[in-house]
Amino acid sequence: MGSIYGKIFQISTFGESHGAAVGVVVQGCPAGISFDLAFIQSELDRRKPGQSRITTQRKESDSIEVLSGVFEGKTTGTPIAMLVWNGDQRSKDYSHIADQFRPSHADYTYFAKYGLRDYRGGGRSSARETVARVAAGALAKMVLSQIGVQITAYVSQVGTLKLSTPVEQLDLNLTETNAVRCPDPAMADQMFHYIDEIRKQGDSVGGVVSAYITGVPVGLGEPVFDKLHAELGKAMLSINAVKGFEYGSGFDGVEKKGSEHNDVIVKEADGTVRTLTNHSGGIQGGISNGEPIYFRVGFKPVATIMQDQDSINEKGDKITVSGKGRHDPCVVPRAVPIVEAMAAIVILDFYLRNRVIQMPS
């Protein structure tokens, strides 16, 4: 069950970093949706490796193949299977750690849980698995676009370099104009050179991806355990290297008084109900209120670094782990489409839950 997510719009991912392929089976996608294969490919291209010198140099085309669930350019309402073949595996790069536990990787925990592990690039614990999520998320975006939902993510922090400009004042159309995926060109340039310097040192650095979602209908989410923000948090925390999630005012909100933090509700002349501020981040009581949803996702520094580190092997002997292979010095530029994809999957799943609930018996 650990590879399945969603209740109505449900995805099941499969594959390993150095296996034959990675892919996803999507169930619950409505029939009759125009299926844009080129759009799915463009989303995968945003995630794929080898985009610049500040990303891993593994060369993968990440060409998507659709195996089922689409006929004459439309979704059929049956399971949609999508597959990407792995091409540029270099398993020999990992032979030296076949019995070694790398610091801050899933090596030890997988071995302790299953009694064996695929050491080739991390196997199932590798971020290579997110190819499947991006493909499924692109499909979810297709459906959401028909109801006016727009999901945009961008890099807002790398190390100590932070964007201070409010999202409403940013031109998010600039996000895809640079390798870092930061919508502020000057800050993007600083971030790029900082990541490149970290790469030259054989080290890594973390960062933050911020997301901004508009057009979400009022009423998505459930009152108690399936709160919308709780599911968004679960989805984001399931992404490799994620260490934190906050929505709305987040931790900064603790510094405000209630009189400063409360979002005053008003009714516009056209009958629209909205709030004058949006500290709630578009969600109140676990249910969307129609305002933009915004949140931040914190990513740790990539665990594989090109420096020697102390550890132990499967026998418990003390060893020195030497970094080898091709890895991102900072994961956040390539994580942007992954964050968008998981957000789309969550929003669409809740939208379809509401639609099912509201259907006459």
Binding-site residue numbers for NADP(+) are 47, 53
Nearby residues of 336 by Cβ (< 8 Å), 6 or more positions away? 46, 153, 154, 155, 175, 181, 209
The closest of 258, 288, 242 to 127, measured between CA atoms, is: 242
Asked if 185 and 174 count as a contact pair (C-beta separation under 8 A), the reply is yes
Hey, which bits of 37-95 come out as E strands?
A: 64-66, 70-71, 74-75, 80-85
Q: Residues within the annotated binding site?
A: 47, 53, 124-126, 240-241, 285, 300-304, 326
CA distance 106 to 17: 13
H helix intervals, the chain: 37-47, 107-114, 130-145, 185-200, 228-237, 258-261, 332-358
Q: Which amino acid is at 183?
A: P
**DSSP one-letter string for 222-270:** -SSTT-HHHHHHHHHHTSTTEEEEEETTGGGGGGS-HHHH---EEE-TT
CA distance 314 to 300: 25
CA distance 124 to 122: 6
User: Beta partners for 56?
Assistant: none
CA distance 145 to 216: 11
Asked if 304 and 327 count as a contact pair (C-beta separation under 8 A), the reply is yes
CA distance 243 to 130: 17
Helix (H, G, I), strand (E, B) or coil at 30: coil
CA distance 338 to 333: 10
The closest of 143, 2, 6, 147 to 75, measured between CA atoms, is: 143
Q: Residues within the annotated binding site for FMN?
A: 124-126, 240-241, 285, 300-304, 326
